[in-house]
Structure 1
């Protein structure tokens, strides 16, 4: 844990007692703050009380006694409207921030030069974060991995000059971290997502920009217009920017050509890595992720040979292009983390002869942007609330069935694959949130994995 000593002796309000919220309350308490916490879920309040955190109904609190409000990233700060706790704090002139901000203030106090690598982007940030941590660990660094991936940031060991923090940051977390200033900031891409929480694309992109705009060194994907603007804005501020692209560079940086990653310098284009035959990094999107991770590794002094060796031992992340197993020539892929069309596009680009399982709670735009990939799809299996609208979008271009549930979709897709007598991919890439049928994408992906592993004849080779 990282005790938060910067608020010692102060009274702090906290709303949201999920995993990171409870960790934050305990870190503040450990650092000497007096915390009064609240949550809409009575069970969460009881759990916090059992761990020694004082709770109360903050609707009835005297806000003049609080120095600050720590808000869970899942709680609306601005859109569609501010949460009542945020309104109360603003009315009382109380500053509002989240756990990433608390870490940044503690780092500034106890180890301002401690290596801190922060990663964001609409898609690919979890894979990139995990890959950076893996490469640095293989190179012998003491690495702390967390944030929006896995472990809450304040449950990690405290910052120090000999320890590297590799932290994934969502737009919600960045919005609550005004002093976020990493040693190396990584921004991958921007596409429409979370607009219900940020209002407009301009607001969303501006929040993403904050992570790299205050970094000592910025590594920025430049394959979309929003991100190119972010890179240009950072350069204009005098920040050291390394561009990353899967298409073309206007100058130096890291460029991918198929499975190869090139370091483009004044001496020419130097091959630094080959992603061929690395199942955990298949596809153009993973080439971008790998190129960004390699750029970080170079900045940290890791050799090209050590980077290549580390790439080959990277197992990938659950639920993101995860090979679950094979039956004959049929590959089963768990891509449950693809909760929007842009993310699903990466999977559809990577395979042919696809038996596509999709659906759930639809996001803005649906799957209309995926039409160019419809010729690659042999059949679609629709589940969840979006079934009717997705069926209409697929129309006569893609044969589809309303499987309704994931269980039936896996059963039907496996049967159809067996009848094809040709290589095929059964792909769960929903392009939707899971909330209509599952608590989150992890539960959905785990269920898919168990369904596949129960199929007769399955060879459950991970990273297949």
Structure 2
């Protein structure tokens, strides 16, 4: 078939690439020139073109003539001229549901799907570790591989990874769930639901919850953090729950460098050398593995060897006697867990732009930080998404910090923020990063942070 794919955005790219892989003739049309896209998206489009997709970029008046079917992304306004042309034609419209079924039919192994506002990347990583320890050939897709997981899934199909595994473990952000809402999930897990990304849902927490809850409808077995119990029990009466220190199906208890997991009449304890939210996410991963049939020994062996993952309470070493920790926490609950962990340390905190991808309550961030006796807080005003300096975003956080013992500094870049941490710290202190930017663009952000740390450690030694 001849397919027209409207737009070269996040939903359209994986659709176009897979349709091309399946032997269809595919044209992608977009109002923007390829040079107007982010570099990583340009690379994706160029790769698609090499594979046979035709790019019709910077076309303000594309034609629908000569096509048999069309895909329109959900973000396309009904009033857009191209949308009007499509509605007036007799073209078959490929829906997300139909595309999802195509993807599902190409995956001939059990799928484990993990979603939530916080912790889904970590839980996916740990779950993958448990299954690998048990001898499974795992195809794992998460934002550590590609920030747009739907593209990672399609990439795995195109490059044959789907044929080299005996189980698939997918992180499913809300965008991926929206596109792939008809996958047959063997075990689905929900880590939590918090107020974030609401600008994408018209400010409605209920709509955001409904998107996340699509996973339970897709799942044969569904596991949830007990914090979502009231939401889940309204839609499902056979859900399994996990939590720390609560009497639920899978109960985790934190010990001194250990983690105990109790379930049914069984209980085991594993050495565990990680910190903070890794405990609860490990209980989540273990609940998936145990439900699937992985034995306790493999879970213990995997967890005692677990050393974390990039940008999640990641210890990147010592600089001039300061321990540097990079964390991607940016929501209230996640930040509180991280700050609680370091409450007895002398900490200099630096923050990236908190409105990355979604406008957030920055005063709430400042109010939370005020509860801790930090030495200094350095906030960056650079928005990597828009490539603009927005100092109001940094100052809104700092203005809400009323703890008079905390030094407050606003700077234009995350690199400068990292550099200045050495001005306000001394040997023995902890330099801590928090913010959403690492989750958005880990490689670029960490590179900038490391450059700032290296410069600051020399300048203020």
TM over 0.5: yes
Determine which of 413, 417, 426 is the counterpart of 2:425: 417
Which residue is 1:219 aligned to? 223
CA contact (8 A) 2:376 2:408 kept: yes
Determine which of 7, 12, 32 is the counterpart of 2:23: 32
1:189 deviates by: 0.7
The 5 A counterparts of 1:114-133 are: 114-133=109-128
CA contact (8 A) 1:183 1:215 kept: yes
CA contact (8 A) 1:59 1:85 kept: yes
14 and 273 in structure 1: CA distance in 2 versus 1, 3 angstrom threshold? farther
CA contact (8 A) 2:131 2:289 kept: yes
Q: Choose 373-382 or 210-219, whichever is displaced more.
A: 373-382
Indicate yes or no: 2:169 matched with 1:166: yes
Which residue is 1:188 aligned to? 191
RMSD: 3.4
SS of 1:233's partner is coil
Determine which of 289, 293, 302 is the counterpart of 2:281: 289
Determine which of 187, 195, 206 is the counterpart of 1:202: 206
CA contact (8 A) 1:175 1:207 kept: yes
Determine which of 393, 410, 418 is the counterpart of 2:400: 393
Determine which of 412, 415, 420 is the counterpart of 1:407: 415
The whole-number CA distance in structure 2 between the counterparts of 1:165 and 1:405 is 38
Which residue is 2:350 aligned to? 357
158 and 358 in structure 1: CA distance in 2 versus 1, 3 angstrom threshold? closer
Q: Where do 5+ consecutive residues of structure 2 fail to align?
A: 36-41, 147-151, 382-389
SS of 2:167's partner is strand
The whole-number CA distance in structure 2 between the counterparts of 1:411 and 1:188 is 35
CA contact (8 A) 1:182 1:214 kept: yes
The whole-number CA distance in structure 2 between the counterparts of 1:369 and 1:17 is 31
1:370 deviates by: 6.0
Which residue is 1:60 aligned to? 62
Indicate yes or no: 2:136 matched with 1:141: yes
SS of 2:246's partner is coil
Q: Deviations over 1:171-195 (max 9, x none)?
A: 1111222313311111101111111
Which residue is 1:108 aligned to? 105
1:392 deviates by: 1.0
Which residue is 2:93 aligned to? 94
Which residue is 2:387 aligned to? none
The whole-number CA distance in structure 2 between the counterparts of 1:316 and 1:42 is 37
The whole-number CA distance in structure 2 between the counterparts of 1:343 and 1:85 is 42
Which residue is 1:6 aligned to? none
The whole-number CA distance in structure 2 between the counterparts of 1:377 and 1:83 is 51
1:159 deviates by: 4.3
1:433 deviates by: 4.8
Which residue is 1:429 aligned to? 434
SS of 1:447's partner is helix
1:97 deviates by: 2.1
1:161 deviates by: 10
Indicate yes or no: 2:243 matched with 1:245: yes
The whole-number CA distance in structure 1 between the counterparts of 2:250 and 2:290 is 11
Q: Deviations over 1:248-299 (max 9, x none)?
A: 23x422334456544444426x234342x23xxx10x222211111111212
SS of 2:185's partner is coil
SS of 2:118's partner is coil
Which residue is 1:4 aligned to? none
Which residue is 1:375 aligned to? 372
Determine which of 270, 273, 279 is the counterpart of 2:270: 273
190 and 159 in structure 1: CA distance in 2 versus 1, 3 angstrom threshold? same
The 5 A counterparts of 1:148-163 are: 148-151=143-146, 152-156=152-156, 157=160, 159=162, 163=166
The whole-number CA distance in structure 2 between the counterparts of 1:361 and 1:46 is 31
SS of 2:367's partner is helix
Which residue is 2:71 aligned to? 69
1:90 deviates by: 7.0
1:426 deviates by: 0.6
1:235 deviates by: 2.9
Q: Where do 5+ consecutive residues of structure 1 fail to align?
A: 1-8, 458-464
Q: Choose 406-415 or 116-125, whichever is displaced more.
A: 406-415
Number of residue equivalences:
419
The whole-number CA distance in structure 2 between the counterparts of 1:94 and 1:456 is 57
Q: Deviations over 1:194-234 (max 9, x none)?
A: 111112000001100111222011121122xxx22343135
